[in-house]
Structure 1
Amino acid sequence: MQNRAAQFVDTVSRHLTAGCVLEAMASALNDIGIDCFCMNLLATPKQKFEEVILASKLPSDWINLYKEKAYSEDDPSQRHSKRVVRPYDWKDAPYDSEREPRALEVVHRASDFGIGTGFVVPIPGSAGNIGNVWMGGYKFQILNRHKPSLHLMALYAFAHVQRLNGTAKQNVKLSDREREILTWIAAGKSVIEIGEILTLSDRTVEWHVQRSIAKLDARTRTNAVAIALRDGAIAF
């Protein structure tokens, strides 16, 4: 799956529309049952969901119902993705079925459309989460070992679409050491392993990691890697 993520990054970097990015994701992930996607910003109380969708590959009837019923106001996942940084299974977004009948309705109606399961990647920003990427399908079946690669792919895809939309920040300059360490992180190495490879202490490696995160306006290592890949600062 890590090789597939690397191929995806290389392919998507050449795409010029958000629709092409989602088609590339579908092509890369179809064999594990992922062929539906939604990429959106987190709506403010005054925004409608259609105003914050960046790209979507969902059943049109579901999107129309979701907008008509204003489900984004009660969708447990939209709420949960504001609060967490780590990816999660869509069905695990918490809600109270007795006190929140609308949330229960969202979950049931999604199942009616065959998209009641999925994987959600929150998109972190410097002052909190700014959006999320949902991916799923009628034959959705991913293993835990797939999730780190899906996480990176979603972060990269979102960052690339931001760039296409003109909402990404200007590139920042990373030092040679910062690029080197982020490249090893992209390859799946831990801080301890990177320290051994580069003959650096764990503390020094972590210091460079945190510097990179701050420079890239990221919140996590994976987020920083995705932005660095998008900007061409590192490569797989």
Structure 2
Amino acid sequence: MANQDMAAAERVEGLITDVKGFKTQFDVFRFMKRVTELYGARAFMVLNMPGATAQELGSSSIITNWPSDLLTEFDQISLLSGSPVLAHLRRSSIPLRFDIDDVALQRDSKSGEVSKALFTRFRMNRGSYFPVHDATGARGAVSFIGDREPFNALEMMELAYIATHVFNRLAEIREMDSRNSDMLTERELDCLNWTAAGKTSVEIAEILTLSEHTINHYLNRATKKLDAVNRTQAVAKALRLGLIK
């Protein structure tokens, strides 16, 4: 048993070391997929705590690999409203193990049956949520869901430790992105906006009455400031940060 505990501790410490080195949200996404598979779950979600009037889970999600159809249906039939899981997360900082059968019983009969059928269809009928917060006190949660047996006490402790580090690192990455975005010039933002609209460098040059070389210079500089690997990622990051629309 001691050897198993030591191996588990070393494995988790290795995972945490990985987290500390991540530079982008996509790094964290890939890591969370790996952790999800490692612990025998099917899907994960990292989310900000939905506000009191929130109607959609999707708008609070930071990163997730939930099946898109599941998340869409969840929001379309307003299952966030009256969610027993969300109620627990709002009033407690204690990790939650749940089974969809038990959750359904805590809802009204109609939404209970609908939620049970929905999650069972995607084989995501049990899992755990881990309440977390960042350095500013902003609250959130990390979940792992699937159809395996409930996580045991050791797995819950390991996943809670991982969840805390993941949420904190995502907050740090957002802060780094925000600092970089503050340095974007008006011209760089213009170029990103037009790129997001599907315009080529040649077309943007005509619109802004600048040379194609100058447009490429602005886009390359914006890409570097946003710590993106290419223009597509730079546009995606700028959209996520609300810098362009």
Q: TM-score range by the shorter chain?
A: 0.5 to 0.7
Larger Rg: 2
Match runs of 1:6-85 below 5 Å: 6-47=13-54, 48-85=56-93
Kept in 2, the 8 Å contact 1:9–1:153? The answer is yes
Identity across matched positions, percent: 14
Equivalences, count: 168
Kept in 2, the 8 Å contact 1:89–1:120? The answer is yes
Q: AA paired with 2:95?
A: P
1:107 corresponding residue in structure 2: 116
Per-residue deviation, 1:40: 0.8
For 2:139, what is the secondary structure of its paired residue? strand
Post-superposition Cα deviations, 1:82-128, rounded to whole Å, max 9, x if no partner, equal 11211121228767557453244323311221111111101247998
Q: 1:149 aligns with which of 149, 153, 158?
A: 158
1:190 corresponding residue in structure 2: none
Kept in 1, the 8 Å contact 2:43–2:65? The answer is yes
For 1:165, what is the secondary structure of its paired residue? helix
Q: AA paired with 1:54?
A: I
Kept in 2, the 8 Å contact 1:124–1:131? The answer is yes
Q: 2:10 aligns with which of 3, 6, 23?
A: 3
Kept in 2, the 8 Å contact 1:108–1:116? The answer is no
Post-superposition Cα deviations, 1:34-93, rounded to whole Å, max 9, x if no partner, equal 241011112113433222111111111111111222221132211211112111212287
2:243 corresponding residue in structure 1: none
Gaps of 5+ in 2: 1-7, 177-245
Match runs of 1:132-211 below 5 Å: 132-139=141-148, 142-166=151-175
Taking a change above 3 Å as real, the CA distance of residues 65 and 146 of structure 1, as seen in their structure-2 partners, is same
1:202 corresponding residue in structure 2: none
User: CA–CA distance in 2 between the matches of 1:134 and 1:71?
Assistant: 17
Q: 2:94 aligns with which of 76, 83, 86?
A: 86
Taking a change above 3 Å as real, the CA distance of residues 128 and 164 of structure 1, as seen in their structure-2 partners, is closer
Q: Which has the higher contact order (CA 8 A, sep 6+)?
A: 1
Gaps of 5+ in 1: 168-236
Taking a change above 3 Å as real, the CA distance of residues 13 and 124 of structure 1, as seen in their structure-2 partners, is closer
User: CA–CA distance in 2 between the matches of 1:19 and 1:77?
Assistant: 27
User: CA–CA distance in 2 between the matches of 1:83 and 1:94?
Assistant: 16
User: CA–CA distance in 2 between the matches of 1:98 and 1:86?
Assistant: 21
**With structure 2 as the length reference, what TM-score do the two structures score?**
0.59
Q: AA paired with 2:157?
A: P
Computed over aligned residues only, the root mean square deviation of the Cα atoms, in angstroms, reads 3.0
Q: AA paired with 1:113?
A: F
Q: Which segment drifts farther, 156-165 or 22-31?
A: 22-31
Q: Which segment drifts farther, 89-98 or 38-47?
A: 89-98
For 1:109, what is the secondary structure of its paired residue? helix
User: CA–CA distance in 1 between the matches of 2:131 and 2:42?
Assistant: 19
